[in-house]
Structure 1
Amino acid sequence: MNWSETELETETEANAAPVATPPATKANGALFLGDTGTLPAEARRALCQLLAGPSVDAQRQPTQWAALLRHEDAVRSLLSELFLELVLDRDGGIAFTRQADTAEVDSPTLLRSAPLTFIESVLLLFLRQQLAEADTRGERAVVEELQLVEAMSIYQKNVSTDQAGYGKRVSAAIAKMRENQLLSKLRGSEDRYEISPALKLLFSAEDVQVLADAYRQLRDGGAVEAIEAVSDDADE
């Protein structure tokens, strides 16, 4: 089913605060008392969004996205000062930061990371596959909550015999995807979500293949612990 652009307005877009008018810049270029920065206000807002995470999205944050493109080199330079790297997909309209590969240089880790639970990794794989299929059709990726629950149900026998408890864990995984803005509820709907294109950059095609092979083994009688180990590797 194809959804119109009007129908596909997400809760993020609907609840977005109006863009404030930038304050007048002082004569010396400073934006506030004691300001020694060199970036204009719009670039600083884009940089703050990147650091706050999880991403800058051209559809949901058009102002920050445009500013990021205009000041890409300066933003990359500042992120490098923090041992961070800018990942930017112009075609997909998405950007985020990740730890730079500093090789043997001892560098602090500023970005938080956490291993995926089994259910979270299964859900991410399913969302990544749905995103790929939508891309081939030239559409925005939309899923229904019932569709997610049914996709997770085939793994219940490998995790728990408690159907109610398993359902709660699936609901918690969906809530986590929303919290991290990988799923955005569509306005006017209680059970339809758009999948963030950021997932294409977070999970490469190689990651998807590794996980898909592992889940296939699980359905044939493999151990959950092995899947969680693969998920940990993908998260890193």
Structure 2
Amino acid sequence: MNWSETEIENEGEGQAAPAPAAPAINKDTGALFLGDTGRLPAEARRALCQLLAGPSVDAQRQPTQWTALLRHEDAVRSLLCELFLELVLDRDGGIAFTRQADTAELDSPTLLRSAPLTFIESVLLLHLRQQLAEADTRGERAVVEELELVEAMSIYQKNVSTDQAGYGKRVAAAIAKMRENQLLSKLRGSEDRYEISPALKLLFSAEDVQTLGEAYRQLREGEPAPAEAEAAGEGADE
């Protein structure tokens, strides 16, 4: 019997029974959909989803979610703690993201996947972090040109490959990855100029920059580069 093609009749009436009415959403309880037991308003949930989707919530690119995050910061922090996650928020820089909480010896699951950076990606990140620090000193936005980035990476070619064309493709792929993870944002009206995300200040401390800088200085002097850098980037969508 095909239920989709057969009408269910009321006994003794010969008429099709009316379809049951869908349960109404009780807006007084704050429910946003059927079965919703959440307590956060819609704007805060959207900000939380953006944090979990990654890589960040940016005040410039996502002003609505940023405002909602600041308004409901305590509640969002509490929910992230339930998942063994920590909210990293820089009000002055206008950037926020999540990272695994330091649970010490507590056995806790890992939700954010870490991907090892290639040598080229790691030195590109270091260069961007240094450019960001210099721009902060001048009180300016950190803006770079793609050609400038390619030239900055060229000094490491001898440590990686003698194939200039192949190396250029790898540098282009590293720049594309920075864009994909919103660490570089193309400026409006420009095809080759980018703004560096202030999130790098939170990902790499001044001590990290100094340590990595020294390591890569030694590499520039002739030592071969490792296949992968020890640094790893965190993000829910990697």
Query: Distance in 2 between the 1:195 and 1:84 partners?
Result: 25
Q: CA deviation at 1:113?
A: 1.1
Q: 1:233 to 1:176 in 2, by over 3 A?
A: closer
Pairing of 1:65-214 with structure 2 (within 5 A) = 65-214=66-215
Alignment-mate amino acid for residue 144 of structure 1: E
Q: Does 1:47 align with 2:48?
A: yes
SS in 2 for 1:32: coil
SS in 2 for 1:131: helix
Q: CA deviation at 1:172?
A: 0.4
Query: Distance in 2 between the 1:170 and 1:49 partners?
Result: 28
Q: CA deviation at 1:214?
A: 0.4
SS in 2 for 1:27: helix
Pairing of 1:54-69 with structure 2 (within 5 A) = 54-69=55-70
Query: Distance in 2 between the 1:138 and 1:49 partners?
Result: 29
SS in 2 for 1:215: helix
Q: Contact between 1:142 and 1:194, CA under 8 Å: does it hold in 2?
A: yes
Q: CA deviation at 1:67?
A: 0.8
Structure that is richer in strand per residue = 2
Identify the residue that residue 39 of structure 2 maps to in structure 1: 38
Q: Contact between 1:207 and 1:234, CA under 8 Å: does it hold in 2?
A: no
Q: Contact between 2:117 and 2:231, CA under 8 Å: does it hold in 1?
A: no
Q: CA deviation at 1:25?
A: 7.8
Q: Contact between 2:122 and 2:231, CA under 8 Å: does it hold in 1?
A: no
Q: CA deviation at 1:140?
A: 1.1
SS in 2 for 1:63: helix
> What TM-score comes out, normalization by structure 1 length?
0.86
Structure 1 consecutive aligned stretches of length 4 or more whose deviation exceeds 2 Å: 233-236
Alignment-mate amino acid for residue 154 of structure 2: S
Q: Deviations over 1:173-214 (max 9, x none)?
A: 000001101011112111101111111111111111111000
Alignment-mate amino acid for residue 29 of structure 2: N
Aligned CA RMSD, in angstroms, stands at 1.5
Q: Does 1:232 align with 2:233?
A: no
Query: Distance in 2 between the 1:25 and 1:212 partners?
Result: 58
Which ranges of structure 2 fall in alignment gaps of 5 or more residues?
Answer: 1-24
Structure that is richer in helix per residue = 1
For these two proteins, the number of residue pairs brought into alignment is 210
Which ranges of structure 1 fall in alignment gaps of 5 or more residues?
Answer: 1-23
Q: CA deviation at 1:223?
A: 2.8
Q: Contact between 2:56 and 2:98, CA under 8 Å: does it hold in 1?
A: yes
Alignment-mate amino acid for residue 224 of structure 1: A
> What TM-score comes out, normalization by structure 2 length?
0.85
Q: 1:25 to 1:127 in 2, by over 3 A?
A: farther
Q: 1:168 to 1:77 in 2, by over 3 A?
A: same
Alignment-mate amino acid for residue 63 of structure 2: P
Query: Distance in 1 between the 2:217 and 2:232 partners?
Result: 17
Identify the residue that residue 224 of structure 2 maps to in structure 1: 223
Query: Distance in 2 between the 1:98 and 1:88 partners?
Result: 11
Q: Contact between 1:95 and 1:198, CA under 8 Å: does it hold in 2?
A: yes
